[in-house]
């Protein structure tokens, strides 16, 4: 369901979700995606994600109404979801995050896109991103990221900061007593990668390291070749709290790394087998 051309789009790109325009086929796509990804969550997704998903009452039955989610999310962490037609300009995106608004696309993919999409749709945005926003520490992290994004734009450092988003918000792993778990939205909403990232011997898994992440390119066309692993969300928040201005300068002085590179100093995490 694409948004209609005459939908009013504000300067903040926010539109009405237009929930009544989803048809039975749209809801069925949601349901099939939901059931498929839910099956891998036990033993795959971290506890914080699971709690968020349950707490929000997101279910397979039908595409959620943003108003219903907000009635739970806003009292929990003071975040709200707003509907947008697709990817929005960087400054608009950061401004939403800095104000604790998560811009979620309102359209759902087609049947022939079940396994792979290049742009976020409502399943990726809502199933992938929103549950973890029920966690207070992650919620604060994403707001701080939005503020940091505005600063990175001024400093011309957006490519460096974007890598942090990629390797945490989208593809982050977390260490738990039960083993590695997923918190990244790009993994949790992806059929193949949710297993691959935890079980496959090929990709590297490296302990969270802010400047290392900022040096590391990423690929958008295939499973990741490297994942960065946090110990907990406090670590993520604390490590990213200082002013990045000097860090950007420092990182610019280091050579970039390919996703497949490892360097001395990487704390490589072995799979328990
Ligand atoms: N501390 C960062 C800065 O000064 C802001 C930030 C916080 C960026 C958290 C990303 C994540 O730019
Ligand atoms: Co995303």
CA of 244 to the centre of ligand 1 (A): 6
Instruction: Tell if the pTM clears 0.85, that is, is over it.
Output: yes
Evaluate whether 155 touches 248 at the Cβ level (below 8 Å): yes
- The per-residue pLDDT for 198 is 96
Residue nearest to atom 5 of ligand 1 (CA): 148
- The per-residue pLDDT for 272 is 77
- The per-residue pLDDT for 181 is 98
Helix ranges, 156-229 (H): 158-165, 185-188, 193-199, 210-214
- The per-residue pLDDT for 10 is 77
Give the ligand whose atoms come closest to the C-alpha of residue 141. 1
* Pocket of ligand 1 from Cβ distances under 6 Å: 141, 144-145, 147-148, 151, 164, 240-244
Would you list the domain boundaries of the chain?
A: 19-252
- The per-residue pLDDT for 170 is 98
- The per-residue pLDDT for 8 is 67
Helix axes 245-252, 158-165, angle to 10 degrees: 100
CA of 124 to the centre of ligand 2 (A): 6
Which atom of ligand 1 lies closest to the CA of 151?
12
CA of 214 to the centre of ligand 1 (A): 12
- The per-residue pLDDT for 7 is 61
CATH architecture, range 19-252: Orthogonal Bundle (1.10)
- The per-residue pLDDT for 15 is 95
Which atom of ligand 1 lies closest to the CA of 141?
9
Q: Residue 126: phi, psi to the nearest 5?
A: -85, -50
- The per-residue pLDDT for 4 is 53
**Could you list the pLDDT tens digit for every one of the 273 residues in the chain?**
545 555 667 789 999 999 999 999 999 999 999 999 999 999 999 999 999 999 999 999 999 999 999 999 999 999 999 999 999 999 999 999 999 999 999 999 999 999 888 899 999 999 999 999 999 999 999 999 999 999 999 999 999 999 999 999 999 999 999 999 999 999 999 988 999 999 999 999 999 999 999 999 999 989 999 999 999 999 999 999 999 999 999 999 999 999 999 999 999 999 876
Give the ligand whose atoms come closest to the C-alpha of residue 123. 2
d(CA 49, CA 174): 11
Residue nearest to atom 4 of ligand 1 (CA): 243
Residue burial 218-256, b: 16+ Cβ < 10 Å; e: rest: beeeebbebbbbbeebeebbeebeeebeebbeebeeeee
Which atom of ligand 1 lies closest to the CA of 164?
10
CA of 241 to the centre of ligand 1 (A): 6
Left (φ > 0), alpha (ψ -120 to 50) or beta: where does 156 sit?
left
Give the ligand whose atoms come closest to the C-alpha of residue 186. 2
CA of 129 to the centre of ligand 2 (A): 6
CA of 151 to the centre of ligand 1 (A): 8
Pocket test for ligand 1, best of 146, 150, 151, 213 (most atoms within 8 A of CB): 151
Give the ligand whose atoms come closest to the C-alpha of residue 138. 1
């Amino acid at each position: 369901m694409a948004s209609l051309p005459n939908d009013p789009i504000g300067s903040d790109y926010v539109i009405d979700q237009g929930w009544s325009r989803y048809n039975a086929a749209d809801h069925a796509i949601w349901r099939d995606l939901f059931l498929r990804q839910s099956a891998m969550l036990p033993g795959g997704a971290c506890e914080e994600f699971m709690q968020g998903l349950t707490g929000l009452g997101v279910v397979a039955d039908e595409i959620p109404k943003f108003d219903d989610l907000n009635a739970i999310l806003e009292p929990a962490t003071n975040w709200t979801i707003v509907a947008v037609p697709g990817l929005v300009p960087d400054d608009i995106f950061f401004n939403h995050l800095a104000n604790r608004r998560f811009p979620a696309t309102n359209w759902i993919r087609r049947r022939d896109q079940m396994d792979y999409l290049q742009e976020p749709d409502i399943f990726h945005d809502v199933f992938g991103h929103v549950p973890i926003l029920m966690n207070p520490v992650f919620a604060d992290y994403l707001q701080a990221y939005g503020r940091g994004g505005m600063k990175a734009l001024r400093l011309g450092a957006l490519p460096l900061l974007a890598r942090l988003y990629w390797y945490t918000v989208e593809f982050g792993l977390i260490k738990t007593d039960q083993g590695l778990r997923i918190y990244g939205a790009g993994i949790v909403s992806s059929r193949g990668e949710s297993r691959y990232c935890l079980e496959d011997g090929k990709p590297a898994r490296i302990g969270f390291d802010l400047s290392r992440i900022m040096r590391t390119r990423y690929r958008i066309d295939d499973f990741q070749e490297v994942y960065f692993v946090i110990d907990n969300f406090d670590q993520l928040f604390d490590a990213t709290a200082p002013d990045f201005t000097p860090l950007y300068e420092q990182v610019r002085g280091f050579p970039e790394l390919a996703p497949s590179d490892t360097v001395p100093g990487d704390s490589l995490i072995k799979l328990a087998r």
